[in-house]
Each structure stands twice: as C-alpha cells, then as structure tokens.
Structure 1
C-alpha cells in the first residue's frame, strides 16, 4: 500500500468511514444502506473509493454476504478510533445519542468483576447501542489507576483505596456493598455448619492474587484476634481457584455475590465468616478529565442499574 497523501485523504469523509464500520458489522450492502438511509449504489461507490485508496478489495463477495479481508480487520479498530475522536468533538449532554455512537469502552476489572458485572454490561450494551463495544482488561489497583491516567482505560471497576492526594485526579463512585464469605467444595467438613474462628484459622486456605501472597482485611481481622490464615496455595485467577477448591480440601474467602453466582457451575458451598471483617464497596473509577463526558455518564447510569438488579 502506498503512503497516504493529501490527495488520498480527500477520498475519505465521515460517511465513508461509517459505511466501512457498518459493512464490518452487517457484511451486506443492503443492510448497510437500510441502516444508514442510503441507496445501495451510494454504499457501493463508497466501498469503491476505499478499495482504490487502500489498494485492497477489503470485502470479498461470498454466498452468505461480504467477507472482510485481513486488511479490513486490521483497519477496523483504527477507523473506530477515528470515528470516536470525531464523535467526541461533537458531544454534549443534550446531543449524545448512544444508538448512533460508534466507539470502544475500555474497562479494567479483576476476576470478581469480570465474572459478576462485565457479562451483564456487555449484553446490555449490545441491546442499547450495537456500535459501542466493551473491551475488558484484567487490570487492578495501581495498574488500573495508571491506565486511567494515561488514557488506556475509560473506567476501572473494583475495590480501590485511593490516597487523598489522588482524589482530584479520579472520580470515584460506590456501586454496591459486598462482604466476604468462606467457600469450599460441597461436603467439606468445615462447611457442614458455621465454622468457628479457630476452625477457619486452622484450615488450609487458597488465595486469589495476581501479584503473589498478600494480606487483606480478613488477615488483619484475624491478626487482631491472635489468629492467621494458613495460606497453602496462591493462584492469579478466580476460575482456577474455584476449580481447585471444588476438587480439594482447600477453602477460600470470596465476595458473597461471586460465591452465590458460582455454586452450581463449580459445586461449591459457602458460609458466613466467623469474624466481622466489615463490608467493602465495589467502586467505579474514572479519570477527572471524563467527569463531564456524556458517554461516561451514560455508561455509569447503565452500570448502576445493572448492579442494582
């Protein structure tokens, strides 16, 4: 492909870019024409301009419709970013229309949120705005906050203890209150009844942590009573942990919603902790630069509604 010149750039306008994205989604020129209120010859003419510009067919005719070429797949995220930037220049709270906005929402979350929140959010986005994509990344704590600062994320979901000096940098919103429970395989002797504090401390524990052995509020509460968890296994992901406790004598502390949502797939049971470690808040964090963004306000509105249900 030749270098893009000013002459070539004149072949591109917003309509051509939107037609390209619509073709990637529908794979049929007739569907694109109907969606955008254009004639089919207008769609074909736009595609011809793109083929000339990129010196590539971009879409191959097949019995089921149009099949994107490798270059078309490569161009799609770049063109989405261009359309997103153009859209942002026009946005204001009164004009934002999710049904016509094409963009990617980049969300950082840990396994807990990826299990309980992100699936519902992604499904809701497909219904409310087919051109808004949800991209989730396994970023937590300082990694997620750093990605927000550098513009690599639109939103981070999780538990954050944000220092006072950083409060002006981020906008933090509580989504819901959560508490820890003790979970293990069905039939585990420790979970046949509510365990005592001593029984919990003596059990073999599994810890989910992407950064190795760490201590949290459960360990601090136990320490205040003269106990400590006997952590025997540390794994970086939730699904690995659930699979392990389902088939072993290990137990683990989990947010209650995660335990409730996974008792059938992994055949686990859970009981209240024998010690009060306090509730914690699942939070949504965005950068201050997005505090007045209608896109982010709309995202948070739907996120609050999803988690409340």
Structure 2
C-alpha cells in the first residue's frame, strides 16, 4: 500500500524522468534521451515534487542539482524500474513444450469428474509431455506430502471444512450447492424437500473422499436431526446405480448431478432450506509456490474452470 494518495498520481514515465534528471542534470538532455518534449519533462518534475513533497532538483547554472531527499531516493527508484523490467521479461516461466514432467495431485472424486478430464484433454490437445497422477483425498489434508513435494497440489472442499495449516496457501476454485437425486418415479414431493421430509427418507451416501464426517450430516446434527443411511458407495456413479426402482435419496453436488444423471432415469429435488453451499479449494505449499511448474499447473486449472463457466 502507498503511504500517501499523492503517490497514486505517479506513473512509470515520472520515475524515468526522475532517474534521467538525476543522472544527466539537464532537462534538455533528458527530453532528447526519452524522446519527449521539455514541457513533458517539466510536468513530470512537477508531479514528482508534489507527490514527494520536496523540490527534489534545484535549477543552477551548472544544471539540475538533487536535494538530499532526491539523493536518498535515487537508488530506490532505480530498483523499482529494474523490478518492473524483471516482471516484464526477466521471470523465467515453465514451458510445457520443452519439459517432461509428472504432477501429483491429491483430490476428491468431484475434481476427477468435473475438472480433471478437461485438464488432461487440454494437455493432450497442446501436445504437452505431461503426466498427472490423482490420489484420492482422505480424512485430513496431507500436510507432510505437500511440504516435501510428494504432492504438488491438494484439492479439497471448503469453506473451513479442514483446519488451517501454517505454511499452506489456498485458492477457491468454484462454489456449488447440493441437490437431492431420486428415481424418476419416486413417490416424493415435487418441490424442495423440507428438513423433516429429508430426514425421514432413506439415503445412499457416496464417499468421494475418506472421512468420518461430511457436510450434510454435520449440518443435520446442528439442526438437531439425523438421517438414515441405508447404503454407502465408493463413488458418485456407484451410488447413483442404487437409486433406480427405489425411494432412496442421494444428495449430490448440483454440478455432478447435471453431469452424471440421465433425465430418463433420475429426477432431483431441492435440498432442505439452509443446507449450506460449499467451495472447491486448491491448496499448495508456500515452499514450492514459486516453482514455475507449480504456478503453471495452478494457472491451467483456473483456466479450465473459467472456460467451462465454473467460476
């Protein structure tokens, strides 16, 4: 952040004029060197003097002489310009056409169904020599594996579904809501299920990640309710196959429901009012966060989400 609002009026040309006047001591020479008019140089100096609340340069017979403040500022302004140049061309980026690499991602089934296929097709279509290995997400964030590089990324649900860990950074990829999937001919209300109706149903529970708790039952417990789970499946698709011909309810993310549910076999109802939405979060270690390949991978995942309208 800037210490003064006056500094917000400065631009790169003003800083270039400052350095040039400091080094050349002549407005005329600065004008020629920067290919701008002398009036432009004078205008930039006026902005600089106002912004830094100092005369900066004193006009003498032998040229423009810096004040003590200008002398103290010079090396810092030079570093600012050097940093800008580095941002423009000096930061080495990962080139997937020149590097063969394997990425290891820990993620739930949601990511595998919704994002992973498009990510791989993007790599194949661009002829990148990249392999991506997916490991199923378990109960807790695999902190050690992230820290030592065994995992490049962890994809998990939020917000605040997992404890925060020092040394890890995160980014929300998308938000989704839950809906209730039922058999096309199920004898259930055609509208949003009430809390009482939802709790009274028999439920199939998918386990897209290994955990003793889940967001639905955690929310029900806070309402003083519970539900009857009659079957547990290892995946969303396996759970869906238990629904036809029954009055069972399967609570799915809406995006997964839209992707996997055949309208000739299934219908869906709104989840009870108050059942919270959730986010899909991307986590990585601060230690490799400056790794160019890791940065590139995260950017590709965000691009897939943006192009598919998930953001």
Match of 1:261 among 244, 249, 259: 259
Shift of residue 249, structure 1, vs aligned partner: 2.6
- Show the counterpart of 2:163: 163
Report the alpha carbon displacement of residue 147 of structure 1 after superposing the two structures with TM. 2.9
Question: Structure 1, residues 78-99: CA drift from partner, whole Å, max 9, x if none?
Answer: xxxxxxxxxxxxxx94242122
Q: Which residue of 2 aligns with 1:243?
A: 241
The runs of 5 or more residues in structure 1 that have no matched partner are 1-91
Give the superposition deviation at 1:185: 2.0
> Residues 15-164 of structure 1 correspond to what in structure 2 (within 5 A)?
93-142=91-140, 144-159=142-157, 161-164=161-164
Cα distance change, pair 111–221 in 1 and its aligned pair in 2 (3 A): same
Task: Indicate conservation of the 8 Å contact 1:141/1:159, yes or no.
Answer: no
Give the Cα separation in 1 of the matches to 2:106 and 2:189.
Answer: 33
**Residue deviations 1:15-66, cap 9 Å, x none?**
xxxxxxxxxxxxxxxxxxxxxxxxxxxxxxxxxxxxxxxxxxxxxxxxxxxx
| Structure 2 Cα separation of the partners of residues 265 and 119 of structure 1 | 22
Partner residue of 1:187 out of 185, 189, 197: 185
Aligned to 1:196, which of 183, 194, 199? 194
Give the TM-score taking structure 1 as reference length.
0.63
- Tell me the SS of whatever aligns to 2:243: helix
Looking at secondary structure, tell me which structure has more helix per residue: 1
- The TM-score, its normalising length taken from structure 2, stands at 0.63
Change (3 A) 1:172 1:247: farther
**Between Structure 1 and Structure 2, how many residues are aligned?**
216
Give secondary structure in 1 for the equivalent of 2:238: helix
Which residue of structure 2 aligns with residue 177 of structure 1? 175
Q: 1:95 to 1:224 in 2, by over 3 A?
A: closer
Task: Say which is worse superposed, 246-255 or 116-125, in terms of deviation.
Answer: 246-255
8 Å CA contact retained: 1:110, 1:158: yes
CA drift of 1:248 comes to 3.2
Q: Is this contact kept in 2: 1:262–1:268, CA < 8 A?
A: no
Counterpart CA distance in 1 for 2:151 and 2:264 is: 31
Q: Tell me which residue corresponds to 2:296.
A: 298
Contact persistence 1:184–1:191 (CA under 8 A): no
> What's 1:277 paired with?
275
**How far has the Cα of 1:291 moved from its partner?**
0.8
Is the Cα contact below 8 Å between 2:176 and 2:277 reproduced in 1? Answer: yes
Distance 2:251 2:141 in 1: 23
Shift of 1:283: 0.6
CA distance in 2, matches of 1:303, 1:211: 20
Structure 1 position 155, deviation (Å)? 1.1
Q: Is the 8 A contact 2:109 2:208 kept in 1?
A: no
> What is aligned with 1:231?
229
Give the 3 Å change call, closer, same or farther, for CA 248–213 of structure 1 in structure 2. Answer: farther
1:304: how far off? 0.9
Q: Please, what is the CA RMSD of the aligned residues? A: 2.5
Cα offset, 1:163, TM superposition: 2.7
Which of 210, 213, 216 is matched with 2:214 structurally? 216
Contact 1:209 1:235 in 2 (8 A): yes
Q: How many Å separate the matches in 1 of 2:222 and 2:149? A: 40
Provide the C-alpha distance between the structure 2 equivalents of 1:95 and 1:211, rounded to a whole number of angstroms. Answer: 34
Given that 2:138 and 2:210 are in contact with CA atoms closer than 8 Å, whether structure 1 keeps it comes out as no
1:141 CA drift (Å): 4.2
